[in-house]
Structure 1
Amino acid sequence: MPGACYSLITMIKRAFLPLLLLTSGLASAADLTEAEIRWLTAGSAVLAYAKQELKLPLDITVQPQASATDVPLALGYQDGRCKLVLSLRGNPKAEDILSTVPIAQRSLMIEAMVAHEVGHCWRYAQGVWHALPAGFEERREPSRAAEELRDTRREEGYADLVALAWTQQRHPEQYASVAAWMQQVRQPSPATGSHSTLAWLQLAPTGAAFAAGVPVFEQANLLWRQGLARDQ
């Protein structure tokens, strides 16, 4: 329906233009595709929380065309700001990652993915990216590549726990579905892969694993430390 589409685009403009860094291929938020609107809408509660309540330095970039190596959603850090990059155009991975999810639940999984990326932003903004908490000693690795893989895996584990903690806080009745999907997504990774986070996901089989009454990032941190103890 044209009217409904216009209303949705207007909502996206109002909610995200302060965040959006439109690339040269996009003239305005009206140029967003239906898929981009759907993903931004699904993640809107997380993005609003990150920007308005946490005051995280977060910008959103919409790629006019994805490259062969782009994942649908990624986060980087540049000049003191987090860069959430949406790469959906011409990207089959955007469909593949949700292919096993019922249509009615896809927005929920996208929301979890956005929460995962905001978890990365939190770590960057706190100045603790690739840093261990106090009390942990860094183990030696045989090579620099092995160290980088280990460090990336730890950050992915933390971000996955943020996604689950967010889900437990906002959608507790859907926790089991999100946790099962995340385990499925991570399962194909080899045990030493950079996104092999099962050691952390297995610590949160139900939402009861997260401490009540504390912020999402602290909830994730408490379980993350348990996983790090196993990873030593």
Structure 2
Amino acid sequence: MIKRTFLPLLLLTSGLASAADLTEMEIRWLKAGAAVLSYAKQDLKLPIDITVQPQARPNDVPLALGYDNGRCKLVLSMRGNDNAEDILAGVPAAQRPLMIEAMVAHEIGHCWRYAQGVWHALPAGFEARQPPQPGAADELRDTRREEGYADLVALAWIQQQHPEQYASVAAWMRKVREPAPAVGSHSTLNWLQLATTGAAFTPGLPVFEQANLVWRQGLLQDR
């Protein structure tokens, strides 16, 4: 299991001078995701910058990932965001760091796809039933597929690092996704239902490859 310390993580992040520049909530979230971020930056050499918004905008989620000039941007939007931790409502305090770790792993899954140059692309050897047609429906479908992949990366990470907690995290993720409409960009139950237990993932492979194998199964049902 990968264990990292928090202070080296802060030294690795771009634009953060010290922990003193962060709020208590930001520190908690970064500390919870430290192992994932350190693995991504140090072991995988993914190009990740961490950005803290000085003021969240309406409807901002607390944690998001973008891609700009060849680098992933992990954005924390917690300042002035009264709903920042609503996603953790009902989760026991002792388990909240684990759920945040899964969320960070989800965003790293997005970063991996961007960095590999396969964002919104089908995996090699996978043929769509119909050719892509530009439009809102296809964009929504492609985004949903990326969210499904990232959810599976999160679960593969949890299975690798915290197998004894897998059932709790998987159940929480299904609960989070259930309210979304069937056509929503985060409606990923098609994939989550394939990974209700950690046995869905192939041991010994990198988490991105483990996620990809299950993702392909879900894609067969998502065309």
TM-score band, normalised by the shorter chain? over 0.9
Aligned equivalents of 1:206, 1:219: Cα separation in 2: 13
Q: Secondary structure at the match of 1:214?
A: coil
The TM-score with structure 2 as length reference comes to 0.93
Query: What's the offset of the Cα at 1:91?
Result: 1.2
Q: Provide, for residues 19-78 of structure 1, a one-character-per-residue CA deviation record: whole Å limited to 9, x for no partner.
A: 1324xxxx7541211100000000000000000000000110011111112100000000
Q: 2:24 aligns with which of 34, 37, 57?
A: 34
Establish whether residue 163 from structure 1 lines up as the match of residue 157 from structure 2. Answer: no
Aligned equivalents of 2:39, 2:18: Cα separation in 1: 24
Residue number in structure 2 paired with 1:199: 190
Q: Provide, for residues 156-188 of structure 1, a one-character-per-residue CA deviation record: whole Å limited to 9, x for no partner.
A: 000000000000000000001100000000000
Q: State the one-letter code of the partner of 2:171.
A: A
Query: What's the offset of the Cα at 1:94?
Result: 1.6
The TM-score with structure 1 as length reference comes to 0.90
User: How many pairs does the alignment contain?
Assistant: 218
Q: State the one-letter code of the partner of 1:187.
A: E
Establish whether residue 210 from structure 1 lines up as the match of residue 204 from structure 2. Answer: no
Unaligned runs of 5+ in 1: 1-10
Q: 1:174 aligns with which of 140, 165, 181?
A: 165
Residue number in structure 1 paired with 2:217: 226
Equivalent runs, 1:22-171 vs 2, <5 Å: 22=16, 28-138=18-128, 139-140=130-131, 144-171=135-162
Aligned equivalents of 1:224, 1:174: Cα separation in 2: 21
Query: What's the offset of the Cα at 1:12?
Result: 4.8
Establish whether residue 19 from structure 1 lines up as the match of residue 13 from structure 2. Answer: yes
Aligned equivalents of 1:40, 1:165: Cα separation in 2: 20
Unaligned runs of 5+ in 2: none
Q: Secondary structure at the match of 2:12?
A: coil
Q: State the one-letter code of the partner of 1:103.
A: A
Residue number in structure 2 paired with 1:4: none
Q: Which runs of 4+ in 1 moved over 6 A?
A: none
Instruction: Provide the alpha-carbon RMSD of the alignment.
Output: 1.5
Identity %: 76
Larger Rg: 1
